[in-house]
Amino acid sequence: MKHLIQILVILLVLVQLSVFLHAEEDVLSIIRKVDEIGKTTTSVAKMSMLTFPYSEDNSNYRDMKVLAYGKGEDDSYMEFISPKSIKGLRILSREGDQWVYFPSTGRVRKIASKSKDKSVQGVGGDFSYEDLGGGSMEEKYTFKILSSDEDSWTLEGIPIKESTYSKILVTINRDNYLTPKVEFYTEKDGHKKDLISEEFKIISGRLMPTRMIMINLIKQSKTVVIIHEAEYDIPIDDKYFNPMRFYK
Amino acid sequence: MKNSTSLIIALIILGAFSLNAQDNNFLDIDWNDNNSDASGHKSYEEAFSLYGYMIDYFQSSIDYSGSKLSKPSYGNALLLRLKGDWRPEKNLRFHMEFSYISNVGNQNPYLMYEKLGIAGFAQSDFPLEDYNQHMFFDHVWGMVNIGNFDMQFGKFPIAWGTGYVFNPTSRVAFPPFLDMVTEDTRGTMAILPSYALSDRFSLEAYLAFQDKTQKATAYQEDSDANNFPYGIKLNTIIGSFDMSLSWIKEVFYNDLDYRPIDDILEEAGMQYIQGIIANQAIADLLAEGDTAAVLDIFKQGALVEMTSGMSTHPYYKRKYFAGFDFAGAVWDFGVYGEFAFRAPYDNNDNKFVLGNYSFADNLEMSVGFDYTIPGINLDTRYEYYYQGSGAKGKGDYNILTVLSGERLVNARNYGFLFAEKTVKDFHKFSLALFNNLDDGSYAILPGYSYSPYTNFDITVGAFILGGSRASEFDGRYILYDVKEVDLMDNFWPYVRLKLSF
């Protein structure tokens, strides 16, 4: 009898462990598919960034036009086309570091890593340097499944590396592994931002969101990014991702 | 000098070889698409764009002393900056910036020169000249990318260094200081080749063809290669820090006389006396009826003048600097530093002499940090500036060194504190404090900007200057130890309108 109980306990432990391992594997496989869906070797996009100081007031906004290049998961380059007051401003994000080129002074400034919570040179709206920085979800967060229904999973991600966020909640569609919503949390503010992706379209053979809305729940503001044109997996000159010459 | 120039030339030749290598690939080029290069890289940038901004700056100037206010003066500065970008091909860029500036009232710099008595002439003697308006092309440059080699040429800003207010390693043009109108770094005629050895190392150099003053007059000595400024810099990234090492030559033209007033007057007096003696000698010869001797003296004098050639202008000052800068992050702070060590170079003998070299007297540095105060999202910055060549005491201040542009400020130690808060994208509040740490004088700059539209903002603010008598920002200067001039009032409220287009 005693042995039977011992065997039962061991079996229960094994079953629990197996369930745990299986769930872990599920989370990883989900997040890897999410990363895979969004993974591109290179990308180029012409986009608009609309900043709304009051998220409820859709008539009051500023419009910025940006040319953006991306390479791999980490590197991105942005050149501001408008407004004219900041035309020519360029931002390179690479391996967690950022550089900004100011055309009026001809100077390149390194952005301190701890300032990444700030809006990009005051023109990034509700997108901070960290939001615009690259990197795969799997590399940046440790995930667990919080809930699921027949259409989607909700995953909780805890940052692995240093981050301005304490956690994120990601909603993932079961049918296409796209992420219609990401919630950002900080220790101080709690639920701080929501990133909503919509108007999914096939671009260069990929199903991609063409409209992303970042809502800052603390500031009660929002920023809308609209992708007008995009191409993926095309050759892009390496100079745009080289901190020594991205502005040349 | 020889080695440095050789290195710059080597960089240019390296670029020429790269160009040759590119030419050899001409068969691969898609002749129907000049936005792609041989590797198939396509350019998405705009091929042409014209844009710019206009600033209208209105400033009053008042002196306050206790509860008394002086009669205010007023002035207006108007700046139009028209910019153009062309990209005829993917790896070629052309950029130009045209400036129109009009300064009237207290914004006209000639008023200050006349107030100080250092204006070279009276403006009223030249009624057809316009001393209020200027039009010029400030930036006119081309850029060519060839492999990892880039070359910029023409007239363009050369802005080295990581400092925000002071840049000890930026030594080709005067930086704007306490200036609410100028936004763009002044262009310098130069050629700047650079080569990226990798994404963590690059070598760049410039050879400029005009001295720092960019004077309006032209002298024979301008064509002397010894008067060409240059700089060579090795850039690298180590961890999350950007760093660079540099070697820089500054050339500065300055014909202002810094000597004590006694020396200046003594020399002028001696010349006056010699003139009287010469005149007396000629008068004596004439009185004796020796006209032939007088004619001989006249002819000899005329021949000496005719055969002496062009007059020389020994006013070019050459300085050499070893530079170092860095920028990165430590904890929650963005940190940066920039250092320039002036080499012991004897300007008169044109050679390096160690002699009584003082490290402290020849170091110039700015170090600082920026920090965003969490919770209230207040952006702050602090910068400390040390100028080893600065005056050691108030009594040694020389306003001429600042007016000539040789120094930006007079003393040795300065602090700069800046705080800025943006509210709802439309409102920006700022406060800057600039402090002379040696004599305690200060400039406080509060400001508020409102941007009702993306391309328009209005700023109201003030310069509040203060300090003990004859301190740097007190505004009263003692010229040559004999004359006190109140150069600056101590309260300058202003309104600034900027429209971008």
pLDDT digits (tens, 9 = 90+) for B161-185: 999 999 999 999 988 888 889 999 9
Q: Which residues of B touch A117 (CB under 8 A)?
A: 372
Name residue B44's amino acid: Y
Q: Do A83 and B143 touch (CB under 8 A)?
A: no
Name, in order, each residue with C-beta under 8 angstroms of A145's C-beta and a sequence gap of 6 or more.
Answer: A23, A26, A27, A30, A153, A154, A155, A156
Of A18-22, B105-109, B470-474, B485-489, the least confident? A18-22
Does the beta carbon of B355 lie under 8 angstroms from any beta carbon of chain A?
no
pLDDT score of A133 = 64
Q: Tens digit of pLDDT for each residue in B67-125? A: 788 889 999 999 999 999 999 988 999 999 999 999 999 999 888 777 766 676 788 88
Structural tokens at position A230: 């995009």
User: Nearest-CA distance from B455 to chain A in Å?
Assistant: 6
Give the mean model confidence (pLDDT) for residues A237-244: 94
Q: Do B422 and A67 touch (CB under 8 A)?
A: no
Smallest Cα–Cα separation from B340: which of B303, B366, B373?
B366
**Residue B5: is its pLDDT beyond 70?**
no
DSSP H or E segment with residue B150: strand B149-156
Checking B194-197 for CB contacts under 8 A at 24+ apart, the result is B194/A244, B194/A245, B194/A248, B194/B11, B194/B149, B194/B150, B194/B151, B194/B152, B195/B11, B195/B14, B195/B15, B195/B148, B195/B149, B195/B150, B196/A239, B196/A242, B196/A244, B196/A245, B196/B148, B196/B150, B197/B148
pLDDT score of A19 = 45
Which of the four pLDDT bands, split at 50, 70 and 90, describes residue B40? low
pLDDT score of A62 = 87
Smallest Cα–Cα separation from B5: which of B193, B215, B218?
B193
Quote the mean pLDDT of chain B. Answer: 87
Give the mean model confidence (pLDDT) for residues A213-217: 94
d(CA A218, CA A193): 8
Q: Which residue of B has its CA nearest to A240?
A: B199
Give the mean model confidence (pLDDT) for residues B32-41: 53
pLDDT score of A24 = 47
**Residue B268: is its pLDDT beyond 90?**
no
Total domains present in chain A: 1
pLDDT score of A38 = 79
- Bridge pairing between strands B476-479 and B351-352: unpaired
**Residue A1: is its pLDDT beyond 60?**
no
Which of the four pLDDT bands, split at 50, 70 and 90, describes residue B376? confident
Q: Which chain B residues in 418-477 lie under 8 Å from chain A, judged by CB atoms?
A: 422, 424-426, 454-455
What is the percent of chain B where pLDDT is above 90? 52
Tell me if A12 is assigned to some domain.
no
Q: Count Cβ–Cβ pairs < 8 Å, chain A vs chain B.
A: 129
d(CA B369, CA B336): 6
pLDDT score of A113 = 54
Protein fold of B2-27+52-255+313-500: Porin (2.40.160)
Instruction: State the residue range of the domain holding A98.
Output: 35-241
Q: Which residues of B touch A188 (CB under 8 A)?
A: 374-375
Cis peptide, bond prior to residue B452, ω within 30 of zero: no
- CATH number, position A232: 2.50.20.10
Q: Which residues of B touch A85 (CB under 8 A)?
A: 53, 454-455, 498, 500
pLDDT score of A46 = 93
d(CA B426, CA B103): 29
Q: Which residue of B has its CA nearest to A80?
A: B45
Instruction: For residue B323, list its beta bridge partners.
Output: B246, B340
Neighbours of B130 (CB within 10 A): 10
pLDDT score of B191 = 98
Smallest Cα–Cα separation from B377: which of A109, A192, A184?
A192
Q: Tens digit of pLDDT for each residue in B42-66? A: 667 888 999 999 999 999 999 887 7
Name residue A85's amino acid: S
Q: Tens digit of pLDDT for each residue in A32-81? A: 999 888 788 999 999 999 989 888 998 888 889 999 999 987 788 999 99
Does the beta carbon of A72 lie under 8 angstroms from any beta carbon of chain B?
no
pLDDT score of B27 = 42
Tell me if A3 is assigned to some domain.
no
Does the beta carbon of B132 lie under 8 angstroms from any beta carbon of chain A?
no
**B371-407: buried (b, 16+ CB within 10 Å) or exposed (e) per residue?**
bbeeeeeebbbbbbbbbbebbeebeebbbbbbbbbbb
Q: Which residues of B touch A125 (CB under 8 A)?
A: 425
Smallest Cα–Cα separation from A132: which of A169, A80, A198, A54?
A80
- A179 close to A169: Cβ distance less than 8 angstroms: no
d(CA A103, CA A100): 10
Query: What spatial distance separates the first Cα and last Cα of chain A, rounded to whole Å?
Result: 80
**Residue A18: is its pLDDT beyond 50?**
no
**Residue B346: is its pLDDT beyond 80?**
no
Which of the four pLDDT bands, split at 50, 70 and 90, describes residue B331? confident
- What are the distances in angstroms from CA B185 to CA A40, A82, B409, B463, B496? 39, 21, 18, 22, 19
Does the beta carbon of A228 lie under 8 angstroms from any beta carbon of chain B?
no
Q: Do A113 and B200 touch (CB under 8 A)?
A: no
Q: Which residues of A touch B377 (CB under 8 A)?
A: 118
**Residue B14: is its pLDDT beyond 60?**
no
Q: Do B152 and A248 touch (CB under 8 A)?
A: yes
Which of the four pLDDT bands, split at 50, 70 and 90, describes residue B29? very low
Q: Say which residue, B487 or A238, is predicted with more confidence.
A: A238
pLDDT score of B92 = 95
In this structure, is the dihedral angle defined by the CA atoms of residues B283, B285, B289 and B291, taken in order, positive or negative? Answer: negative
Q: Say which residue, A127 or B213, is predicted with more confidence.
A: B213
pLDDT score of B238 = 93
Which of the four pLDDT bands, split at 50, 70 and 90, describes residue A115? low
Q: Do B335 and A112 touch (CB under 8 A)?
A: yes
Does the beta carbon of A81 lie under 8 angstroms from any beta carbon of chain B?
yes
d(CA B15, CA B145): 9
Q: Do B185 and A106 touch (CB under 8 A)?
A: yes
Smallest Cα–Cα separation from B43: which of B93, B84, B76, B90?
B90
Tell me if A58 is assigned to some domain.
yes
Give the mean model confidence (pLDDT) for residues B209-232: 91
Q: Do A236 and B156 touch (CB under 8 A)?
A: no
- What are the distances in angstroms from CA B124 to CA B110, B128, B129, B131, B133? 12, 9, 9, 10, 16
Tell me if A21 is assigned to some domain.
no
Which of the four pLDDT bands, split at 50, 70 and 90, describes residue A22? very low
**Residue B21: is its pLDDT beyond 50?**
no
Residue with tokens 């594997």: A25
* Angle between the N-to-C axes of helices B291-307 and B261-287, in degrees from 0 to 180, rounded to the nearest 10: 140
Which of the four pLDDT bands, split at 50, 70 and 90, describes residue A108? very high
When computed from its CA atoms, the radius of gyration of chain A, rounded to whole angstroms, is 21
Which of the four pLDDT bands, split at 50, 70 and 90, describes residue B208? very high
Q: Do B41 and A237 touch (CB under 8 A)?
A: yes
User: Nearest-CA distance from A113 to chain B in Å?
Assistant: 6
Structural tokens at position B24: 């050899």
Angle at A17 between CA A14 and CA A21, to 5 degrees: 135
Quote the mean pLDDT of chain A. Answer: 84
Tell me if A129 is assigned to some domain.
yes
d(CA B430, CA B427): 10
Q: Tens digit of pLDDT for each residue in B350-360? A: 777 777 889 99
Hey, where are the domains in chain B?
A: 2-27+52-255+313-500, 261-307
User: Nearest-CA distance from B130 to chain A in Å?
Assistant: 28
